[in-house]
Structure 1
Amino acid sequence: MCVMFSDDFGKVDLYAKVKKVSECTSLDELQQATEPLTDYLANAGCLRPLKGIEDKDLLVEEILMFQVVHRVSGAFERFKEGMKTLGVLDAIRMHPVAFRPLMCHEPSPLTADVLENLFVIRLSAVGSNRRRAEECVVPFWRDYLMDIEEQEGPLTLGGILAFATGANEIPPLGLSPRPSLDFLHDLPPGQGRHLPTANTCINCLKLPLVNNYEDFKDSMEFAFRNTQGFGQE
Structure 2
Amino acid sequence: MAKPVLEDVADSDLHEKIKRVMECETFEDLLATTAPLEEYLANAGCLRQLRSLEDKYLLAEDILMFQVIHRVRGPFERFRDGLGSLGVLDKIQTHPESFRPLLCWSPTTLTADLIDSLFTIRLSPVGSNRRQAEEMVVPFWRDYLADAEDQEGTQKLETILAFATGASAVSPIGFSPQPSIEFLHQEHDGGNPSKLPIANTCINCLKLPLHTSYDDFQENMDFALGNTHGFGIV
TM-score (norm. length: structure 1): 0.65
How many residue pairs get matched?
219
Is this contact kept in 2: 1:18–1:60, CA < 8 A? no
Larger Rg: 2
Partner of 2:178: 178
Once residues 53 and 126 of structure 2 are traced to their aligned partners in structure 1, the CA distance between those partners, rounded to angstroms, is 69
Partner of 1:215: 216
Compare 22-31 and 89-98 and name the one that shifted more.
22-31
Which amino acid is 1:217 matched to? Answer: Q
Partner of 1:151, secondary structure, is: helix
Is this contact kept in 2: 1:155–1:224, CA < 8 A? no
Change (3 A) 1:87 1:132: closer
Once residues 163 and 108 of structure 1 are traced to their aligned partners in structure 2, the CA distance between those partners, rounded to angstroms, is 18
In the alignment, does 2:205 pair up with 1:201?
Answer: no
Is this contact kept in 2: 1:155–1:225, CA < 8 A? no
Change (3 A) 1:46 1:226: farther
Change (3 A) 1:181 1:52: farther
Partner of 1:11: none
How many angstroms does 1:124 deviate by?
5.5
In the alignment, does 2:19 pair up with 1:22?
Answer: yes
Change (3 A) 1:91 1:20: closer
Once residues 71 and 154 of structure 2 are traced to their aligned partners in structure 1, the CA distance between those partners, rounded to angstroms, is 40
Partner of 1:138: 138
How many angstroms does 1:153 deviate by?
4.2
Is this contact kept in 1: 2:30–2:56, CA < 8 A? no
How many angstroms does 1:179 deviate by?
0.6
Q: For residues 75-97 of structure 1, give each alpha carbon's deviation from its aligned partner in whole angstroms, at most 9, with x where no partner exists.
A: 11122223333654344334323
How many angstroms does 1:173 deviate by?
3.5
Partner of 2:188, secondary structure, is: coil
Q: How does 1:90-105 map to 2 (within 5 A)?
A: 90-105=90-105
Partner of 2:71: 71
Partner of 2:41: 41
TM-score (norm. length: structure 2): 0.65
Q: For residues 118-172 of structure 1, give each alpha carbon's deviation from its aligned partner in whole angstroms, at most 9, with x where no partner exists.
A: 2123445778776665444333212111222333446343442233224444344
Partner of 2:208, secondary structure, is: strand
Once residues 16 and 88 of structure 2 are traced to their aligned partners in structure 1, the CA distance between those partners, rounded to angstroms, is 39
How many angstroms does 1:201 deviate by?
2.7
Partner of 1:72, secondary structure, is: helix
